[in-house]
Amino acid sequence: MVLSRKQLQRYSRQIMLPQIGEAGQEKLGAARVLIVGLGGLGSPAALYLAAAGIGELHLVDGDTVEISNLQRQVLYKTNHRDKEKAQVAAQQLTAANPEIRVHAHTRMADEAWLTSLLSQQPFDLVLDCTDNLNIRHTINRVCRAQKVPVVMASVRGFSGQLVSFDFRSATSPCYACLFPPTAEQRDLPEVENCSTVGVIGPALGMMGSAQALEAIKLITGLPLSSLNRLQLFEAATLEWRALVLPENRHCPVCGPAE
């Protein structure tokens, strides 16, 4: 891929960074990224990835826009109420950057559908922007099985979490190493999320932006601060701390077979 004059102008502030350059911008333009969840995390993540020139974005969400979303889901406006999030998001991102390809999937992700999508075409990366623990474990299993890197984030109240796994490496740990799924979680009709416990909007903006940043770094070959490290953010104090993931040989997903 050779950058056009228009692309050189659009992405000039990125290209002048020695860590990116034209070669890095070409990698971004050739990348295909899947974003699952277009709420408070997916909105800023998608906006920044579209602006950065990710060549192809796939957006997955089966919800419609509600008035209560607007406090934190910055892709949507009041006149988008009752419209499908994935379709609205695709329109907004295409308007922001008409040079990229944006595909809307107006459905909820499940294991069979994700497996089919990731096996049919190569994806460079998946962003887990969901607020549900069960689907997060599903994304973790499918991405590991398909050897696709994943950047995950979550926010509850004022507290955010960020972690990345590069499943192209056979020795990579996974989300289940950190938070093993339990029978109790699987049986819950509704897992705690922002609709049941509340959340501060800018914290979602911070974590969604961090996901986009880590995605850009992964695609351009830069080191990720969240790779196999749980990054914890406290919005109330503006403090970050990191926890290195310990080896979990008993992980039900990536542990060695007995």
Annotation says 194 is catalytic: yes
Instruction: Write b or e for each residue in 34-73: b if 16 or more Cβ atoms lie within 10 A of its Cβ, otherwise e.
Output: bbbbbbbbbbbbbbbbbbbbbbbbbbbbeebbeeebbebb
Contact 88, 57 (CB under 8 A): no
Query: How, if at all, do strands 125-128 and 32-36 pair?
Result: parallel
**Residue showing tokens 């990125």:** 14
55, two tokens: 């060549």
Question: Are residues 158 and 202 in contact, defined by beta-carbon separation less than 8 angstroms?
Answer: no
How many beta carbons lie within 10 A of that of residue 154, not counting itself? 22
Q: Is 162 helix (H, G, I), strand (E, B) or coil?
A: strand
State how far the Cα of 133 lies from the Cα of 190, in Å rounded to an integer.
9
- Answer for the pair 41, 211: CB distance below 8 angstroms, yes or no: yes
Choose, from 174, 177, 194, 254, the residue flagged as catalytic: 194
Q: What is the dihedral of CA 7, 14, 201, 197, to 10 degrees?
A: 100
- Provide the annotated active-site residues: 194
